[in-house]
Amino acid sequence: MVQKIIGPRALPHNEQGEAFAPSNIALCKYWGKRNSDLNLPLNSSLSLSLGHLGTHTRIRANAFKDEIYMNEQRLDPSAQFSSRLIAYLDLFRPASDCYFRIDTHNNFPTAAGLASSASGYAALAMALNNFFSWNLDGASLSILARLGSGSAARSVYDGFVEWHRGESEDGMDSYAEQIPAIWSELRLAIITVSRAVKTIGSTEGMRRTVETSALYAAWPEKATRDIESIRHAIWGKDFAELGGTAESNALAMHATMLDSRPALLYWLPETVAAFHKIWRLRQDGIQLYFTIDAGPNVKILFEEKNEHIVRGEFDDAEIVRPFVC
């Protein structure tokens, strides 16, 4: 697959390559793989970029060995993060004695349910594209990013992004595309309940859910219905449909996790307290909805007109304006 996209492997064309990729929050979730090696999903998904929150990555040639730096800290090559990243670099290494130095920086918590691997591998794929002068289009970059982390397929774009499940066994039709819609009034608030690294990563969580949850059988069909509803809401700027569908989709995904054996629960007491607070405010007529990925941190969807209320009720939340520069 890699050779189909980049052609024959060649030495870098530039002294370095660098790129920024935004994290993303799925409004219709990706949960479950039909091929783990290629990170091919069982269902299509649709996300919203987190704008300025993401990963900046720089890649340069290095002598003798690979070196990985995360937020200016050198990582042990045997660490899980390093070994996974080095295995990804092996896909593009033009020779066995060609080594890299990777400097990557996240401006949000890593591995805490904020899609750090998504922005990380998208930024790395785009930095490699710059480093080697591949001049790839968005679909090709999306496929390469997906090989590192499934949801990275969506982080090569800003705004609303749909990742197509695809049908081909080689994964060449499983890539993301930007939805050319702008919703300037849309806002998202991130409630960081915990910055701790997850004890069970998303890959293991997906595997356990698919293999042991009886509820999972209904998930792909629900995801298909939800993605259609969210597309409709985007083009019609129907906030209640967008928020309501995203919230339902997130809760359904977590229901399949709870039905796994052993049960998988990423929420903390503060997570559930945020749910109840949002529901109470909605009962009072304030249109707030939430979504949550595989982690404890809550994301609130709301419109610009309610930003002062969100700031007042959730004073520690970080406000993201996805369509405002």
Question: What's the pTM?
Answer: 0.94
Residue 13 — pLDDT band, cuts 50, 70, 90?
A: confident
CATH architecture assignment, domain 2-7+15-178: 2-Layer Sandwich (3.30)
Please say if the pLDDT value at position 304 is more than 70: yes
Backbone angles phi, psi at 85, to 5 degrees: -70, -40
- Determine the Cα–Cα distance for residues 97 and 66; give it in Å rounded to an integer: 10
Residue 202 — pLDDT band, cuts 50, 70, 90?
A: confident
Please say if the pLDDT value at position 114 is more than 60: no
Backbone conformation region of residue 297, classed left if phi is above 0, alpha if psi is from -120 to 50, else beta: beta
Angle between helices 116-132 and 138-148 (to 10 degrees): 130
Q: What value does the mean pLDDT take over residues 118-129?
A: 97
Please say if the pLDDT value at position 112 is more than 80: no
pLDDT at 113: 44
- What proportions of the chain, in percent to the nearest 5, are helix, strand and coil? 40, 25, 40
Q: What value does the mean pLDDT take over residues 203-213?
A: 95
Answer for the pair 290, 275: CB distance below 8 angstroms, yes or no. Answer: yes
Q: Hey, where are the domains in the chain? A: 2-7+15-178, 186-320
CATH 3.20.20.10 correct for 186-320:
no
Answer for the pair 17, 58: CB distance below 8 angstroms, yes or no. Answer: yes
Reported as a single tens digit per residue, the pLDDT across 48-93 is 999 889 999 999 999 999 999 999 999 998 888 899 999 999 999 9
Mean pLDDT estimate for the chain = 94
Question: Are β-strands 289-291 and 298-303 bridged in parallel, bridged antiparallel, or unpaired?
Answer: antiparallel
* Dihedral sign for Cα atoms in the order 126, 129, 131, 135: negative
Reported as a single tens digit per residue, the pLDDT across 156-169 is 999 999 999 999 99
Answer for the pair 176, 156: CB distance below 8 angstroms, yes or no. Answer: yes
Q: What value does the mean pLDDT take over residues 254-279?
A: 97
pLDDT at 81: 87
